[in-house]
Amino acid sequence: MYYRNTSDKSVQMLMEVLEMEAVKKQNWTMKHIISICEEIDFIVDEPEHADYSDSTYLVLAELFSDFKKFGHFINVPERLKSVKSFMLDETSKQKILSALNDLKRGTIGNGKTRVLITAWEKDGTLSTWQQHINNLIIDIASTPIEEELFNSNEVSPVPNKKPRNLQKKRKECKKMTVLFWILSLLFTGFSFYIILYGAGVTYNSMHLRISGIKTTAEVVDIVGEMRPRKTDSIKERTEYTYFEIVSFTAENGDKIQSQLYGKGESEERYSIGEQIEIYYNPQNPNQIVDAGSNSETVKGIVAVIFGLFIFLVITSLSKGLFSSLGTIGGVISITTKLLLFLFIFGLLFKKVQMGNQ
């Protein structure tokens, strides 16, 4: 190797520069190393001094060849051994091959013999160095560029481990995608339920206030529905929802008993025997709403807004999955939203019909 056998001071200085670079960066690219050499004039682009950079390109080619073969530099100062990767891009590859071929030809543009060729001829080692340069040319020419290295999974110095790790990551990615889809479906279904529930409550309340008959009813009973609820301490406690049972006489003279919308423990309730105003559906007198309270309508609207919020969040989070499919992804997204809208509308319409029976 030239960099190990020469007494050229410029090569020694170059190796010192590379040592300092190894302290700062352990992942090298040939493009970056060449740019450093150009900045400090180890590589110059002057036709009349075309052989000035021969030793630099030769050293870089030798270092890269060693790293390619062994996964690290051989017989170099300790700091250079810390370099973990050395990648070759197409532009740098062509620069090095061009420089090595020029060196192999032996002359510069004006017919002058290159400095290194003259030195090797003088000590009788020209044929050996020419063979060495030829081997470097073959070695570098056969090296895939940086992108190809990545795609062929040859970046890792340990063969066969990178592909398995990559496959494992892909499998994990697929599992996460499936899990996300399942969760998104669950939350979307939950949002459907809330939207449907809120829309139904709001519609019934508004419909009765607009089309119903207003009358006076008497609170005859209060029924509590017990529901277990888990608190932060994971202990079950009892929570009640209260339904006020009212009695009234319909327009046709029938005596009707029905219950108002449920109220929580903290909500104010009517007393038994209290007279209140209600609206009822003349076609189905059991459908009633409290004329003196808008809480049922408000709760329905809040439920719709909350359900829509969940739906929009899930739709936004799943947007990336559709966009990754390109144009067809947009079509699928729009179609899905349309089907979801029709699904919600259909369930809502069916619920209203069942309520009117």
Give the model confidence (pLDDT) of 222-254 as tens digits. Answer: 888 776 555 554 445 567 788 899 999 998 889
**Proportion of the chain above pLDDT 70, given as a percent:** 73
Q: What is the pLDDT of residues 14-34, one digit of tens each?
A: 888 888 888 888 888 888 888
The distance of Cα 230 from the centroid of its chain, to the nearest Å, equals 35
The residue from 127, 157, 187 where one domain ends is 157
6, part of any domain: yes
Residue 245: per-residue pLDDT = 92
pLDDT exceeds cutoff 90 at 90: no
Q: Is 20 exposed, middle or buried (0-12, 13-18, 19+ CB in 10 A)?
A: exposed
Give the pLDDT band (50/70/90) at residue 102.
Answer: confident
164, part of any domain: no
169, part of any domain: no
Average pLDDT over residues 184-189: 76
| Whether 136 and 197 share a structural domain | no
| Whether 209 and 282 share a structural domain | yes
| Whether 200 and 333 share a structural domain | yes
Residue 159: per-residue pLDDT = 43
Residue 215: per-residue pLDDT = 92
| Whether 113 and 206 share a structural domain | no
Give the pLDDT band (50/70/90) at residue 101.
Answer: confident
Range of 344's domain?
176-356
Phi and psi based region of residue 124 (left: phi greater than 0; alpha: psi -120 to 50; beta: remaining) = left
Q: Which of 161, 169, 168, 170 is nearest to 71 (CA)?
A: 161
| Whether 139 and 223 share a structural domain | no
SS (H, E, C) 240-254: EEEEEEEEEECCCCC
The residue from 95, 123, 157 where one domain ends is 157
Question: What is the rounded CA–CA span in Å between residue 279 and residue 281?
Answer: 7
pLDDT exceeds cutoff 90 at 71: no
| Whether 107 and 250 share a structural domain | no
Residue 157: per-residue pLDDT = 43
The residue from 129, 157, 185 where one domain ends is 157
166, part of any domain: no
More confident residue, 215 or 66: 215
Question: What is the rounded CA–CA span in Å between residue 238 and residue 64?
Answer: 74
pLDDT exceeds cutoff 80 at 320: no
- Residue 25's Cβ-side half-sphere holds a number of Cα atoms within 13 Å equal to 13
| Whether 247 and 325 share a structural domain | yes
pLDDT exceeds cutoff 80 at 317: no
Q: What is the pLDDT of residues 107-161, one digit of tens each?
A: 877 678 888 888 888 888 888 888 888 888 888 888 887 554 444 444 444 444 4
306 and 318 in contact (C-beta within 8 Å)?
A: no
- Number of domains making up the chain: 2
| Whether 341 and 216 share a structural domain | yes
| Whether 118 and 58 share a structural domain | yes
Average pLDDT over residues 95-103: 85
| Whether 152 and 200 share a structural domain | no
- Residue 32's Cβ-side half-sphere holds a number of Cα atoms within 13 Å equal to 14
- Which of 4-8, 55-59, 300-304, 327-331 ranks highest by mean pLDDT? 300-304
170, part of any domain: no
Q: What is the pLDDT of residues 169-181, one digit of tens each?
A: 556 656 776 677 6
| Whether 106 and 199 share a structural domain | no
95, part of any domain: yes
23, part of any domain: yes
pLDDT exceeds cutoff 90 at 1: no
Residue 18: per-residue pLDDT = 85
136, part of any domain: yes
Query: What are the structure tokens assigned to 35, written together?
Result: 């740019």
| Whether 151 and 181 share a structural domain | no
The distance of Cα 326 from the centroid of its chain, to the nearest Å, equals 16
